[in-house]
Amino acid sequence: MRHEGSLRRPDVARAFEAVPRHRFVPGVTLEEAYADRAISIKSDGGETLASISQPSMLARMLELAEIEPGHRVLEIGTGSGYNAALIAEIAGTSAQVVTVEVESDLSEHAREALAACGYDNVRVVLGDGREEVPGEAPFDRVIVSARANDVARAWWQQLRDGGRIIVPLDIGAGGEYAVGFTRYGDELRSVGVVHCLFVPLRGELGTAPPERVFTRTLDVRYGSQPRPIKSILAVPTTAASPELLERADVVVAQPQTTFAVTWG
């Protein structure tokens, strides 16, 4: 990883060196476990339900997250538990990591692997990550490990003001991007965007197509060609006003969150 030059933050680099990835994907060769590839860990009739993510992609997302020692971090989509371990390494022993997984077998395996590797500050919660985890908010960081087409209000509400959320978003704007947002009250402002590839979040936020798309000019052909995203301003859909279009090239109104996208 390091020799490919993809890591800029030393804390992220150290985390990749520290976490034994093979402990989170039993039954594969050492070579497979340390290749820069995603590995499917659960599928159903040919459809991948969960995978251990590609390390270089996780690295870029974790760099975007700028996790600091002592942070409280919420992860949605535990899967193997590998990313939770990386987060725990970066946040350190004084931190609390809460990770939510909807599949009970995966949740159990991840809990065991994390405990076996000594990550006692990671709490693995079985449940639907689209809902709030009772008694744990606020978090400094929220990291979503599955593809969504909306930002759940529950994620937003569990994030402290000034905190950061990283979410793999596919809102029809030319592909799937992990977008890092900082919360300013009732606004999320993007701080960076990286290409990514995730399995969809189970439930509504993972599958519904974009609901309502607004553009100012007819020649902005939404979704026809991948266009680089420069920035996204996100607000609760209940608070979205037409003025958003004055600040963006395209506005996508999803059920919970409205995204004002500026192309690069």
- Positions touching ligand SAH (CB under 6 A) are 49-53, 76-77, 79-80, 82-83, 100-103, 106, 128-130, 145-146, 199, 201-203
Helix/strand number for the chain, H first, E second: 7, 13
Query: Residue 124 or residue 248: which is nearer to ligand SAH going by CB?
Result: 124
Min dist CB 21 to ligand SAH, Å, is 9
Query: Residue 187 or residue 204: which is nearer to ligand SAH going by CB?
Result: 204
Spatial separation of the C-alpha atoms in residues 98 and 114, rounded to whole Å: 12
Spatial separation of the C-alpha atoms in residues 91 and 56, rounded to whole Å: 19
**Residue 159 — φ and ψ, nearest 5°?**
-95, 130
Amino acid code (one letter) for 127:
G
- The single residue of 40, 43, 51, 53 carrying the catalytic annotation is 53
**Residue 234 — φ and ψ, nearest 5°?**
-120, 140
β-partners of residue 221 are none
Min dist CB 202 to ligand SAH, Å, is 3
Min dist CB 199 to ligand SAH, Å, is 5
Q: 203: helix, coil or strand? A: coil
241 is catalytic: no
Query: Residue 168 or residue 172: which is nearer to ligand SAH going by CB?
Result: 168
Query: Residue 81 or residue 248: which is nearer to ligand SAH going by CB?
Result: 81
Min dist CB 161 to ligand SAH, Å, is 24
Per DSSP bridges, beta strands 257-263 and 250-253 are antiparallel
Question: Among all residues, which ones are annotated catalytic?
Answer: 53
